[in-house]
Homo-oligomer: A and B are copies of this chain.
Amino acid sequence: MSDTPHYGDAFARWRAGAPSWQAYTRHRFVEGLADGSLPHEAFLHYLKQDYVFLIHFSRAWALAVVKADTLGEMTTAAATVNALVNEEMQLHVGICAAAGIDQATLEATAERSENLAYTRYVLEAGYSGDFLDLLAALAPCVFGYGDIGLHTAATRSSDKYTDWIETYAGDDYQGLCVAVGELIDGALLRRLGDGYADLPRFAQLQARFERATALEVGFWDMGLRP
């Protein structure tokens, strides 16, 4: 069912252990997308901030290519960079253009501190830690949007934000979530063995996942304050 999407074993554990997950994926901003109550101004403000976010998020996925241990890990991470730079960012450019925001305006967006906090946290986790630290910090965004896509598609009562909802509820994005879930589960097994969830290392990764989830809550809060 939509409330518990299946993106692998590590995600199921991390989500269950993240106190902020509900506040993130059922945020007032999210419910406003589903029922159409979100002011259009807030949506456009969010899109502009999210464009800046995606630049740094793409950089973080590129760092995953650098930090991968196997060719398979590298290839999946490189494909994600590509999807972000050449597809998801273009989608934003398109939605924004339709709303009268041109690319120059998008690129000139002043980065809000909630946005900066989140992306620099993820990048620094990646630089200072290893591939697993980076993936744990990247996971809440990837999987949360998958969860939110399914939830808003299942509960929506307005057509106002249908394009956005269908992007994340759609097969392409859901397939990406499954692939990233497999990447993470495989990376954990390859490094920590099949008892990975019992190791102190996993608790550290859990803490990274929760921290990034809490930063997502801050991002939605910021989205409501154009």
Contacts and interface: CB of A to CB of B under 8 A. Distances in A.
- Give the number of times this chain occurs in the complex, counting copies: 4
A74 B65 contact: no
Contacts of A71: 55, 107
Most buried by B among A78, A107, A114: A78
A201 B190 CA distance: 8
How many residues of A sit at the interface, in one of the four size bands? 35 or more
A43 B75 CA distance: 27
A200 interface: yes
A60 B79 CA distance: 16
A224 interface: no
Interface residues of A: mostly helix, strand, loop or mixed?
helix
Given A120-B124, A130-B130, A58 B67 contact: no
A81 interface: yes
A199 interface: yes
A164 interface: no
A96 interface: no
A82 interface: yes
